[in-house]
Amino acid sequence: MGELKARLASRNPGKARELEHLLPSWTIEPLAAEDYPPENGATYYDNARGKALFGRALAREDEWVIGEDSGIEVEALDGGPGVRSARSGGTDPAGWLLGELSGVEGRGARYVSELVVVSPSGEEFRGTGTLEGRIGGEARGTEGFGFDPIFIPKGRDQTVAELGNEWKRDNSHRANAARELLAALREPR
């Protein structure tokens, strides 16, 4: 694929930079929108697609549009908070989750990211990615956001917040979703 201009339907400019790194030759700017639709779909895919289609209506005709939704799924919470992650834990999601898991078995966890891209002609592509791991016993590290200070990826001893943003850029659930998305875009249509 050649040079491609895209708008990300998200308020998070960090995500746009992260995706730009993962999608070489794409220029990705966040789409300024006052009223994003509420993220109350039943799945990450519903929410990601909702954001992308909302963005489609606002973006220029020659621009691609990207919607992303993500969350964390914890074994002891039967896969929760999952699609409701952004609304769980208030200003201290890591502290909230540690409290929920206090004295409980089942610290296995995974991050999930869903990306939906809509082309200028309205064609849709998707990519899903996960990062498997477990919830540690205490918050450690300063980088990343949300649950990163307590999320320890499989095969590692450090939390994502300790491994840092550079590690995250290439190894996160979003990185894995972007790889799957690139593969989908390269498939002959």
Annotated catalytic sites, by residue?
Answer: 69
- Choices 22-30, 52-60, 116-124, 145-153; region in contact with ligand IMP by CB under 6 A: 145-153
Residue nearer to ligand IMP on the CB measure, 50 or 144? 144
Residue nearer to ligand IMP on the CB measure, 76 or 120? 76
d(CA 6, CA 144): 24
For ligand IMP, what does the binding mask look like between residues 92 and 111, x meaning CB under 6 A? -x-----------------x
Beta strands, E only, 119-177? 124-135, 151-153
d(CA 7, CA 5): 7
SS3 of 21-72: the string is HHCCCEEEEECCCCCCCCCCCCCHHHHHHHHHHHHHHHCCCCCEEEEEEEEE
d(CA 38, CA 111): 21
- Across-strand partners of 126? 116
CB of 60 to ligand IMP, least distance (A): 24
- Choices 22-30, 96-104, 119-127, 139-147; region in contact with ligand IMP by CB under 6 A: 139-147
Assign 129 to helix, strand or coil.
strand
d(CA 13, CA 85): 19
Phi and psi angles of residue 71, each rounded to the nearest 5 degrees, phi first: -175, 180
- Give the interface size with ligand IMP as a residue count (CB under 6 A): 15
Q: Is 72 in the site for ligand IMP (CB under 6 A)?
A: yes
Residue nearer to ligand IMP on the CB measure, 120 or 141? 141
Residue nearer to ligand IMP on the CB measure, 56 or 110? 110
Q: Which of 144, 152, 159, 162 binds ligand IMP (CB under 6 A)?
A: 144
Interface residue list for ligand IMP (CB under 6 A): 39, 69-72, 85-86, 93, 111, 144-148, 172
